Structures are given as structure tokens and as C-alpha cells.
Amino acid sequence: MPKTGLGWLSVGLLFVALAAFGVFFGFVFSGEQGGDGFFSNARLSGAILAAAASAVGGGAFGLSAITHGGERAWLVVVAVALGSLVLAYAAVELIVPH
């Protein structure tokens, strides 16, 4: 379990991100469809933006807890890994044209 405040914050944001991803996929499996643009379906875009923001935030706070606070909890490392993956995916989506 985390020992620092930043570690607990990153783990909390990890669980928020996982819940928001679950809500997003719940919407998708229930038949929600997007439109022509990213914000065409407010439910889908809101859920995925909340998931991405909390994952990246949890990763940033976790990285800070590891580097500055000496945090070594495995949940914080998982939060950093998920945040890094989401940030890398978002960067590739913005950089590479379709």
C-alpha cells in the first residue's frame, strides 16, 4: 500500500480511470455509437476524456511520488504504467495522420 499522500492520490486516480474506462465500454457494449466528430456523442467522449485525464493525472502524481517521495508501492507503479500508456496513445493519435 502507498505510504505517501501523492501515492494515495495516484492510486485513487487509477481507480477513477478504471471506473471511467468501464463506463465507456459499458456505453459501447450497450449500443452507443459515435458520429463524424470526436464530440458527436457526449456520453462516449465525456467518459473517455474522464478516463484519460484521470489516468494521465494518476501517472503524473505517481511518478512524482516515486521520484520525490520514495514511493515503492506496486499500485503506484501500475498507475504510472497506465498513465504512460494512455499518454503515449494520445500522442500517437495526435501526431500520426489517419
39 secondary structure, DSSP code: G
- The per-residue pLDDT for range 51-85, each reduced to its tens digit, is 999 999 999 999 999 999 999 999 999 999 999 99
Distance CA 31, CA 29 (A): 5
19-54 burial, b at 16+ Cβ within 10 Å, e below that, comes to: ebbebbeebeeeeeeeeeeeeeeeebbebbebbbeb
Structural domain boundaries, residue 73: 5-95
Confidence band for 38, pLDDT divided at 50, 70 and 90: confident
Residue 29 cell numbers, joined: 457494449
Hey, what amino acid is at 93? E
- The per-residue pLDDT for range 84-97, each reduced to its tens digit, is 999 999 999 999 97
Structural domains of the chain, count? 1
